[in-house]
Amino acid sequence: MSDLEFDPLGTAGRLDHREDHAPGDEPVESAGHWVANANLGLGFSVILTAAAFVLASTHLIYAPAIPVALLVLAIAQMGVHLVFFLHITTGPDNTNNVLALAYGIMVVFLIVIGSIWIMSHLQANMMPMNQLMQMQP
């Protein structure tokens, strides 16, 4: 729908601070800005990825801490991707995008953490499935 037609205030469609931005979209900047942005993103990602692979294949740090370190690196890298490739910022024009993202993250955590918690409880409380099946007539 073309929306410029019926705008009594004459403000719709003008890109100003009152209007939202779409995620991944930032039409006001020049191409050079985005090349620099992508270069930065690539740099950070390479460093973080390399660090993760090095940690996992060597004994640089205390072994039981490796999973936590890997998770931290993964989350950092996801952040890098969000900022440099998906162009999510904290500006007011991005409020809706960030809120939606936060909502999505909440749902993901509820499902993953909730499932792990619930299922580990079941695992601990119930007899193993093969014994359970033997109880069936």
Partner 1 sequence: MTDHPLPAAVETVRRVREDPHRLGHRGHGHGPVEGAGHGMTGPARKRIIVGYGFWIFLLSDIVLFSCFFAAFAVQRGATAGGPGISQLVEMPRVGWETAALLLSSYTCGLSFAATNARNLLWTQIFLLITGLLGLVFVGLELFEFIDLASRGITPQVSGFLSAFFGLVGLHGLHVTLAGLWLLTMMAQLQVKGFRPEVVHRLICFNLFWHALDIVWIGIFTIVYLMGAVA
Partner 2 sequence: MFGKLSWSAIPFDQPIPLITSIILVLVIAGTLGLVTWKRWWPYLWNEWITSVDHKKIGIMYVLLGVVMLIRGFADAIMMRTQQAVAINAPGYLEPEHYDQIFSAHGTIMIFFAAMPLVIGFMNFVTPLQLGVRDVAFPTMNLVSFWLTASGALLVNVSLFVGEFARTGWLPYPPLSETAYSPGVGVDYYLWAVQISGIGTLMTGINFVTTVLKMRCPGMSYLRMPMFCWTTLASSLIIVAVFPILTATLAMLSLDRFFGWHFFTAGAGGNPMMFMNLIWAWGHPEVYILVLPAFGIFSEVFSTFSGKPLFGYRSMVAATLFICIVSMMTWLHHFFTMGSGPAVNTAFGISTSVIAVGTGVKIYNWIFTMYGGRVRMSVPMLWSLGFIFTFVIGGMTGVLLAVPPADFLVHNSMFLVAHFHNVIVGGVVFALFAGLDYWFPKAFGFRLHEGWGKASFWFAFFGFWITFAPLYILGLEGMTRRLQHVNIAEWRPLLLISLAGVGILIVGALCQVIMLVVSIVQRDRLRDDSGDPWDGRSLEWATASPPPFFNFAILPNVEGEEAYWGIKVKAIESQRLSEEPDYRDIEMPVNSPVGFYTAVFASVTGFALIWQIWWLAGLGLAAAFAGFVVFAWRDVHEFHVPADEVAKVERARRAQREALLERIAAEESVPA
88: region left, alpha or beta (phi > 0 left; psi from -120 to 50 alpha): beta
93 binds partner 1 (CB under 8 A): yes
Q: CA-to-CA distance for 85 and 87, rounded, in angstroms?
A: 6
Q: How far is the CB of 27 from partner 2 (least distance, A)?
A: 17
In the range 18-37, which residues lie near partner 2 by CB under 8 A? 20
Nearest distance, CB of residue 59 and partner 2, angstroms: 31
**CA 7 vs CA 1, 27, 50: distances in Å:** 13, 22, 52
Cα 5 to chain centroid distance, Å, stands at: 37
- Measured from the CB atom, the residue of 38 and 100 that comes closer to partner 2 is 100
Q: Given the complex with partner 2, which of 77 and 97 has the nearer CB atom?
A: 97
Alpha helices in the chain (DSSP H): 31-57, 66-80, 95-125, 129-135
Closest distance between partner 1 and the C-beta of residue 109, in Å? 8
Q: Which residue is associated with the tokens 């890997």?
A: 70
* Nearer to partner 1 among residue 95 and residue 126 (C-beta): 95
Total number of residues binding partner 1 (CB under 8 A)? 68
Give the binding-site size for partner 2 (rule: CB under 8 A): 31
